[in-house]
Copies of this chain bind each other. A is one copy, B any other.
Amino acid sequence: MRDGTPRIEVQLMRMAHQRHQFEIAILSNLYQLSKTTANDEQEAPMCRTIEVAVVDYRDLSPPEVPAPVPGDELSLIPPLNFAMVDNGIFRSGFPDSANFAFLQTLGLRSIICLCPEPYPQANMEFLKAEGIRLFQFGIEGYKEPFVNIPEDTIREALKVVLDVKNHPVLIHCKRGKHRTGCLVGCLRKLQRWCLSSIFDEYQRFAAAKARVSDQRFMELFDIFSLKHLPMSFSCSRR
């Protein structure tokens, strides 16, 4: 692994094969547990997946936007740089507690975090309460010219994005610009967008912080090994 970050897989509870069975999550000091386990691992996988609750699949009705109360009309706060990428795929900067009410309206099934730092306790509790699975692909937030986006990690994250079983999914890093922008850009390559349109979208979010190195990474990213994956989603359905 290129960035040398220890990663482990703590999959506390696997998705129940009996999809109608309701289970209760037992979560105590989850991240500490994952760190301890990390030291015991020789060959650590690239992604730490933490399932913080098991969803009762009997209730898959769309989430309702809470009814507005007087004086509370414009109260939903999307995370920084939030946007919809495609059906069931969203992107943003790091969500904080101010964004939780908004995130509830998305009915997320999973979150892909591209930062290596421990996931904040408040966010972990939100994921647990909402039955959202966390996939953490730790990519360091370098600054140019020392940018080294690990291609293998992006490739693994892309597989999670492409798997509709994880949808709706929110991809985020810290500011929703560089790491998130690279992952979305690689997805756009799989969707056959021309490079100039991919870069245009990247720059819309990165703005003054756009990096040539990120754009070079997207240009050189080889989608060949992912072509066998079903591209069952497209931008829309009639």
Pull 26 A–B residue pairs with CB atoms less than 8 Å apart, ordered by A.
A62-B234, A62-B238, A63-B238, A65-B231, A68-B192, A74-B189, A74-B193, A74-B195, A75-B192, A76-B193, A76-B197, A77-B193, A77-B197, A78-B193, A80-B200, A82-B197, A83-B84, A84-B84, A84-B86, A87-B87, A106-B234, A106-B235, A107-B234, A109-B238, A168-B237, A207-B207
Docked complex Cα distance between A64 and B237 (Å):
10
- Let me know if A236 is at the binding interface, CB within 8 A: yes
Chain A contacts to B: CB under 8 angstroms? 60, 62-65, 68, 73-78, 80-88, 90, 102, 105-109, 168, 189, 191-195, 197-198, 200-201, 204-205, 207, 223, 231, 234-238
Residue of B nearest to A231 (CB): B65
With A106-B235, A238-B63, A238-B168 in contact, do A192 and B86 touch (Cβ < 8 Å)?
A: no
Residue of B nearest to A80 (CB): B200
Docked complex Cα distance between A198 and B81 (Å):
11
Kindly report how many copies of this chain are found in the complex they form together. Answer: 2
A168's contact among B108, B231, B236, by CB below 8 Å, is which?
B236
Contacts of A107 in B (CB 8 A): 234, 236-238
Contacts of A194 in B (CB 8 A): 74-77
Docked complex Cα distance between A133 and B36 (Å):
59
Residue of B nearest to A73 (CB): B192
Docked complex Cα distance between A20 and B43 (Å):
58
Residue of B nearest to A168 (CB): B236
Closest 6 CB pairs of A and B: A107-B238, A168-B236, A62-B237, A84-B84, A76-B192, A106-B236
Contacts of A201 in B (CB 8 A): 83
Docked complex Cα distance between A153 and B41 (Å):
62
Docked complex Cα distance between A81 and B109 (Å):
29
Residue of B nearest to A227 (CB): B68
A105's contact among B62, B68, B235, by CB below 8 Å, is which?
B235
Docked complex Cα distance between A170 and B7 (Å):
42
Contacts of A231 in B (CB 8 A): 65
Contacts of A168 in B (CB 8 A): 236-238
Docked complex Cα distance between A75 and B192 (Å):
6
